[in-house]
Structure 1
Amino acid sequence: MEDEMMDNDNEMEVEQDAEEGSSTKKQKQVYIPGVSRPLKEGEQLDFDPEAYKLFYSFETKWSCLSFDIVGEDNPSTDFPLRCYVVAGTQADKPKNNELVIMGLKDLHALEEDEDEDEDELSDDESDDGNKDKKEATMHSVSLPHYGGVNRVKAQRLGDGTVCAVWNDIGKVQLWNITNAISECSKMTKKVKEEKQIQEKPLFSFITKKEGFALDWSKLKQGDFASGDQARNIHLYRMHEGGTWVVDQKALNGHAGSVEDVQWSPTEQGLLASCSCDGTIKLWDTRSSPADACAHSSDVNVLSWNSKDPLIVTGGDDSELKIWSLKTIQFGQPVARFKYHSGPITSVEWLPQESTTFMASGEDDQVTIWDIAVEADSQESVEGIPPQLMFLHLGQKEVKEVHWHPQLEGLAVTTSLDGFNVFKTVNI
């Protein structure tokens, strides 16, 4: 696991043999991927525990492209922390896939004098029978799901929790995961526990082609939207009795696959979408589809700021762009950041602040940014935007990143080789 802190005190380090004399003492140097020279044979990247308040890694049986964090009633914000996650698998066969509800419990803070490289969610207690205070536990409850899972989005509805799922066989489904969360919360052993329960979808809608775009409305309970490779955006509305109805006519204005959709957190009925056609569009769903508002600009994945009228987007060009709703019609972002060396795979604003967001790319990097930071020529590092606060490494093919909606600064990421959950020292 490697990481990098974007300040002068805590940064990623490279170990190398000292060249002076015959000493074998190792020197440490700050290493910046894409800026520093390539690693030489025998050199390795070191995990710096001083850069993190908390860090754990964990794995599921199959890789997960998508996950969502499930909120709790009055969660404790004191260490050790607890976090519930729902994820969908990419198994070897369609019949082997699952929706997995995971309880990540006893997440302890890293001690200042911690010498270990990293903590892992453990299956067992230590060999000598003494419980390591750093150990955390993963409890999980799975639901059989036919087909690989492209995207999951969880939503609290009344006293229950429903998960919207996009799968790779062209279905948008809703699953009641209330019982699974309850079963997971009842697990109390300090070792890994797993069980499977049976559930059937509450709702299922078959589309012409599969998709990845999915989001619940923050303002209209039970409403959600999906976007697919057939260029369609479908709107789903919850009716009395816990049933859902799909609007007869889809929103159709993109020239390519709809890659992401997100509802406005402040204005009911306003939906943002983005596409592989290189555009972002705003739709007023209270109007008929033919009259829906559309503004075009360059974009691939997006996240809507809950505090200010801003949208952050990431594209195949590896750029991150900030758009103001006041000027988006002119097609010019208010800020752009070029640091990643591969297409952006995920972006999300920190829900408790208006200026901080997280992004991931196909360059295996997770970055944290603060757009309020201004350039300072005396403290700037060549090749590093001053707004880049933190660089988190160590995962392969990072697919999705999320902030915990209630535990400020707690981040979770998923990749081909598993999950990371961490909290940095500067947030």
Structure 2
Amino acid sequence: MSSSWWSCTRKVSKDGLTIIRATPGMRPPLKKVGSREHGDKSITKKYINNPANSDFCIFRSTTTGNTMSKRAAEEFERGDAPLKGGERVGKADDDVESLEFEDEFEDEFESEDEILEAGVDGRPDAEREAEEKAEAMEVDQQTFIVGRNKLEPGQTLSPDLSTYEMLHALSTPWPCLSFDIIKDNLGDNRTSFPATMYAVAGTQADAKREKENQIMVMKFSGLSRNERDQDSESDSDGDEDSDPILESASIPLNTTTNRIRAHQTPASDSSRPPTTLTATMTEAGQVLIHDVTPHLTSFDTPGFTITPQHNKPLSTLRMHKAEGYAVDWSPLVSTGKLVTGDNTGSIYVTTRTQGEGWATDSRALTGHTGSVEELQWSPSERNVFASASSDGTIKVWDVRSKSRSAAMSVQVSETDVNVMSWSPLTTHLLASGADDGVWAVWDLRNWKAAPTPGASSKPTPVASFGFHKEQITSVEWHPTEDSIVTVAAGDDTLTLWDLAVELDEEEARGGEEGVPPQLLFVHYLERVKEAHWHPQIPGALVGTGESFNVFKTISV
């Protein structure tokens, strides 16, 4: 006996009888399913192999607490309902549960313990799956490396939050090219959440709105830990969830801040907070020194008022003849010692005097043939600093030298050297970042004085990485881990590195091509310009770009 298979559409009649209208077609593949709830009806489906002269199939619909209506039973008794293959006209039982439908091919594909269902739309699964595969989003099996691979139009990046302990984005009225983190009295080695931190930054307003620029003294609070899976263990059960808050106290400026750095002078009375000073290199070529202690005090002292006098600079230094980007405070001179450099290659040292004034050397330190891009005081010698320049060199200076020339000059790049960081823990190591995307680590013990004045030696770096393909915009050593470095670049990434990582030959073969084993983490931050470690919250980082990102990864 030949038979055909049917795709069915369901209709539930008022008397509880469920009618399936069948359409001839191919045999649908069968799936095991359970009974499904439809309102107050528990409906169990059985697809029946139908003879060619049948255009309906009927199956049982059981309504909790009710039985089939008398009218429905009478219809079966009279034979008004269409007959099934092999079914005879006879008296139906009053109870709908006694209805049975015979299927002569039943044993071929179902049993009493199985409930089978055709494809959702009555089509074979293979046909439907082929269509879904054709319509599915194309998946690129190649590893996407942030900063290396470019996004296509309409694509966006989404962070994997499982790799962060903390991640927050906070916006300011205008982007900030530069910022610095300010130490507080909340304690060192803080690991509890929500976290709080303080910072100072300078804005970059649009060209026609320069008067909206400002120095922003900021408090970040409510920096909570990322939500974790319920199964994950945490020793910080007391941590509270909260929303991040950015509070700011502003000092009006009418020019863009190129670089800003903070310095703290301990108070003579230990019960009082330290004096916090900032030095701002502006686009106008001036160096502004402010005392932002009142602004910091206002965050945690209700009723404290910031007066116009508090917003005035302690000193405005006008020795530079052009704008500059290089500024640094000596960490070893608590009263305040400042070095600044400009685009003409001139470097000046300014010292705070006993009368609360500021004295700048009358003669500039010169020797670079390009702009001075970065300055760093030695963490161990109070009279020594290093300068990095667009001429591709790093020079080391001793301010006591009567010749006022560099003690050492080293060619470290064929392109501009944009940034530099002197290790605070291993003081013979210096990290540099250049315009070609290469950042390197140098051992100062291998640097030798140039044989002739003005000449530069070319030592070999102890480590060099070309992972980034755009200019390096920031580099900084970790304050407590001597092998950890953070690097920011023009490819919109902020990377974390561990110089102590070494892979054996077998491990190296299993790594991603072009990704150094020392690379721990890649964080995406659009137009990132600077990044700094928080000195009191281990592993916490702040980066500035289109917004501020405050985060802590599981890697460091």
TM-score (norm 2): 0.65
Q: Give me the whole-angstrom Cα distance separating, in 2, the residues matched to 1:20 and 1:404.
A: 53
Instruction: Give the Cα–Cα distance (whole angstroms) in 1 for the partners of residues 156 and 321 of structure 2.
Output: 48
1:277 is aligned to: 391
Match of 1:79 in 2: 193
**Structure-2 change in CA distance of 1:279 and 1:39 (3 Å):** closer
Partner of 1:157: 265
Choose from 140, 145, 154 the match for 1:32. 145
8 Å Cα contact 2:341/2:348 also seen in 1: yes
Task: Give distance in 2, aligned partners of 1:341 and 1:195.
Answer: 45
Distance in 1 between the 2:299 and 2:439 partners? Answer: 37
1:254 aligned residue:
368
- Residue by residue over 1:346-392, the C-alpha shift from the partner in whole angstroms, topping out at 9 and shown as x without a partner, is 11111111111111111111111111111332442111011111000
Number of the residue aligned with 1:307 = 425
| Partner residue, 2:254 | 146
Whether the 8 Å CA contact 2:367–2:405 is kept in 1: the answer is: no
Task: Provide the rounded CA distance (Å) in 1 between the counterparts of 2:368 and 2:246.
Answer: 42
The answer on whether the counterparts of 2:146 and 2:493 sit within 8 Å (CA) in structure 1 is: no
Correspondences of 1:366-381 after superposition (within 5 Å): 366-375=494-503, 376-381=507-512
State the alpha-carbon separation in 1 of the partners of residues 397 and 285 from structure 2.
24
Which residue pairs with 2:513 in the alignment? Answer: 382
| Residues 1:343 and 1:177: Cα distance change in structure 2 (over 3 Å) | same
Conserved 8 A contact 1:301-1:345:
yes
Matched, 1:392 2:506: no
What secondary structure is seen at the aligned counterpart in 2 of 1:360? Answer: strand
Q: Aligned pair count?
A: 384
Q: How does 1:83-98 map to 2 (within 5 A)?
A: 83-92=197-206, 93-98=209-214
Aligned equivalent of 1:52, options 164, 169, 172:
164
In structure 2, the residue matched to 1:213 is 326
The change in CA–CA distance for 1:112 and 1:211 in structure 2 (over 3 A counts) is same
Q: 1:185 and 2:300 equivalent?
A: yes
Task: Report Cα offsets for 1:388-426 as digits up to 9, x if no partner.
Answer: 110001x222111111111111100111x2110100001
How far 1:276 sits from its partner (Å)?
0.3
Contact 1:230–1:257 (Cα < 8 Å) also in 2: yes
CA shift for structure 1 position 185: 2.8
Kindly provide the CA deviation profile for residues 124-178 of structure 1, in whole angstroms up to 9, marking residues without a partner as x.
xxxxxxxx93412111111112211111101111221000000111101100100
- Distance in 2 (alpha carbons) for counterparts of 1:35 and 1:179: 44
Check the 8 A contact 1:279/1:300 in 2, yes or no.
no
Instruction: Report the CA distance between 1:241 and its aligned residue.
Output: 2.6
Structure-2 residue corresponding to 1:108: 224
Amino acid in the other structure paired with 1:218: P
What is the aligned counterpart of 1:324 among 423, 440, 443? 443
Structure of greater relative contact order (alpha carbons < 8 Å, 6+ residues apart): 1
Contact 1:402–1:411 (Cα < 8 Å) also in 2: yes
Aligned-residue offset at 1:196: 8.7
Letter in 1 for 2:219: G
- 1:285 is displaced (CA, Å) by 1.2
Instruction: Read off the aligned partner of 1:377 and give its amino acid letter.
Output: A
Counterpart amino acid of residue 528 in structure 2: V
Secondary structure, in 3 states, of the residue corresponding to 2:432?
strand
**For 1:230 and 1:69, how far apart are their aligned partners in 2?**
29
Give 3-state SS (helix, strand or coil) of 2:300's partner.
helix
Secondary structure, counterpart of 2:276 in structure 1: strand
Distance of 1:45 and 1:28 partners within structure 2: 15
Q: Report the counterpart of residue 382 of structure 2 in structure 1.
A: 268
- 1:292-313: CA deviations, max 9, x gaps? 4022222331000011110110
CA distance in 2, matches of 1:46, 1:328: 44
- Taking the aligned partners of 1:346 and 1:335, their CA distance within structure 2 comes to 17
Compare CA radii of gyration and give the structure with the larger one. 2
Q: Cα offset for 1:251? A: 1.0
99 and 295 in structure 1: CA distance in 2 versus 1, 3 angstrom threshold: same
Contact 2:533 2:541 in 1 (8 A): yes
Higher deviation after alignment, 362-371 or 24-33: 24-33
Q: Is the 8 A contact 2:365 2:405 kept in 1?
A: no
Q: How far apart, CA to CA, are the structure 1 residues paired with 2:130 and 2:275?
A: 65
Whether the 8 Å CA contact 1:101–1:184 is kept in 2: the answer is: no
User: Residue 46 of structure 1: CA displacement?
Assistant: 2.8
More strand by share: 1
Going from structure 1 to structure 2, the CA distance change for 1:144 and 1:41 (only over 3 Å counts) comes to closer
Does the 8 Å contact 1:142/1:196 carry over to 2? no
Q: What's the CA shift string for 1:291-340, capped at 9, x where partnerless?
A: 54022222331000011110110001110111001113352211100111
Residue number in structure 2 paired with 1:407:
537
Aligned residue among 322, 340, 343 for 1:226:
340
The equivalent residue for 2:39 is none
Instruction: For 2:395, give the aligned amino acid.
Output: K
In 2, Cα distance between equivalents of 1:39 and 1:233: 41
Give the superposition deviation at 1:290. Answer: 2.9
Which residue, 66, 75, 86 being the options, matches 2:178? 66
Would you say the 8 A contact 1:175–1:201 is kept in 2? Answer: yes
CA distance in structure 1 between the aligned counterparts of 2:435 and 2:260, rounded to whole angstroms: 22
Q: Distance in 2 between matches of 1:183 and 1:371?
A: 41
Q: Look up the SS of the partner of 1:22 in the other structure.
A: helix
- Matches of residues 282-297 of structure 1 in structure 2 within 5 Å? 282-297=396-411
The alignment-based identity, stated in percent, is 38
> Which amino acid in the other structure matches residue 405 of structure 1?
P
CA separation of 1:196/1:78 partners in 2, compared to 1, >3 Å: closer, same or farther?
farther
